[in-house]
């Protein structure tokens, strides 16, 4: 399993970060979780995400969800088994692929509503949560556990969560990918 390394881009000693454009701008946080290259249709282990270049939209399967500039494709949408999924909308023009039985998209507003319903001291933060907090701090200028506020709609234009499950029902853990400004900004394993 690849270890994610977060790189927070320093924006003029953080003072200029509030002005960074979201929606075609520079990512505020990046990671190397998708650094591996994979051939189209490669059988990846659940939880891994890899970059796949040169695959057409038609070859990726059926588009099953579109959110924040990204489209998720399912290679066998009628199945409940583990299978390859693709996502496009990345700045390098390549797709990302991963293996899952079920994939859901989640917007940043819903993430904040669920995440901040309880105090941070009562729940653990995954690498994905930590990446989102760094993005939110830089873009919204609010601290951990605080909602983004009136800039949430702008942040949501190119920031979305993908949740991948290893089973169609009764998954004891799942993988969460944070997509931001055309990159995979974070990846973490979640449990109930």
- 22 found inside a domain: yes
Structural domain that includes position 24: 16-190
- 70 found inside a domain: yes
- 3 found inside a domain: no
- 66 found inside a domain: yes
The torsion angle over the Cα atoms of residues 91, 145, 125 and 187, rounded to 10 degrees, is -10
3 state SS of 133? helix
- 75 found inside a domain: yes
* Whole-number Cα distances in Å, 65 to 18, 48, 70: 30, 20, 8
- 138 found inside a domain: yes
- 10 found inside a domain: no
Query: Does 59 or 29 have the greater pLDDT score?
Result: 59
Which has the minimum average pLDDT: 26-30, 51-55, 80-84, 183-187? 26-30
- 48 found inside a domain: yes
- 140/149 Cα distance (integer angstroms): 7
pLDDT at residue 3 above 70? no
Which pTM was predicted?
A: 0.85
pLDDT score, position 151 = 95
* Whole-number Cα distances in Å, 173 to 106, 139, 167: 17, 30, 10
Which has the minimum average pLDDT: 51-55, 106-110, 141-145, 174-178? 141-145
**Into how many domains does the chain fold?**
1
């Amino acid at each position: 399993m690849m270890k994610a390394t977060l790189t927070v881009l320093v924006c003029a000693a953080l003072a200029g970060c509030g002005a960074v454009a979201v929606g075609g701008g520079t990512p505020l946080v990046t990671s190397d979780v998708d650094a591996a290259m994979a051939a189209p249709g490669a059988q990846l282990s659940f939880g891994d995400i890899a970059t796949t270049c040169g695959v057409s939209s038609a070859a990726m399967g059926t588009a099953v969800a579109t959110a924040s500039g990204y489209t998720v494709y399912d290679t066998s949408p009628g199945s409940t088994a583990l299978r390859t999924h693709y996502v496009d909308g990345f700045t390098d023009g390549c797709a990302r692929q991963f293996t899952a039985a079920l994939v859901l998209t989640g917007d940043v507003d819903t993430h904040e509503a669920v995440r901040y319903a309880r105090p941070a001291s009562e729940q653990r933060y995954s690498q994905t949560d930590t990446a989102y907090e760094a993005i939110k701090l830089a873009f919204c200028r609010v601290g951990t556990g605080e909602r983004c506020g009136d800039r949430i709609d702008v942040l949501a234009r190119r920031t979305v969560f993908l949740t991948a499950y290893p089973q169609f029902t009764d998954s004891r853990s799942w993988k969460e990918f944070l997509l931001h400004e055309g990159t995979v900004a974070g990846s973490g394993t979640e449990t109930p």
